[in-house]
Amino acid sequence: MRLVVFGMPGCGHCEEYVPRVAAARDRIALERAAFRQPPPQVLFVDASRPENVELANRYIGPEVPATVLLDDGGRVVWRAVGALRNDWVLWLVAQTA
């Protein structure tokens, strides 16, 4: 599974949220490395870039920040709009492989 976080420059909530998700990704990556497990699959998408607009519209619409958990076939398993609490972020990042 993959976690995709959509945001935009100039979005205050995005600028606060994206670093928290990156920190969670790094924390889980360190924990997994100790057991020789693959790092978390977390992607950050700038929804304002022209090349990403279609992707953003497909998964989230116009609202950011948004977090989408995708299965290996690209299907949405879970989706949320807004900045999530740290415990949710850690749980979602841990679901990726």
pLDDT of residue 92: 94
Report whether CATH 3.20.20.70 matches the domain 2-94.
Answer: no
Give the pLDDT confidence of 60-81 residue by residue, as tens digits. Answer: 988 999 999 999 999 999 999 9
d(CA 67, CA 44): 9
Where do the structural domains in the chain lie, given as residue ranges?
2-94
Q: Which residues of 63-89 are buried (b: 16+ CB within 10 A; e: fewer)?
A: ebbbbbbbeeeeeeeeeeeebbeeeeb
Task: Give the whole-number percent of the chain exceeding pLDDT 90.
Answer: 97
CA angle 7, 22, 31 (to 5 degrees): 150
Backbone dihedral angles phi then psi of residue 8, each to the nearest 5 degrees = -150, 145
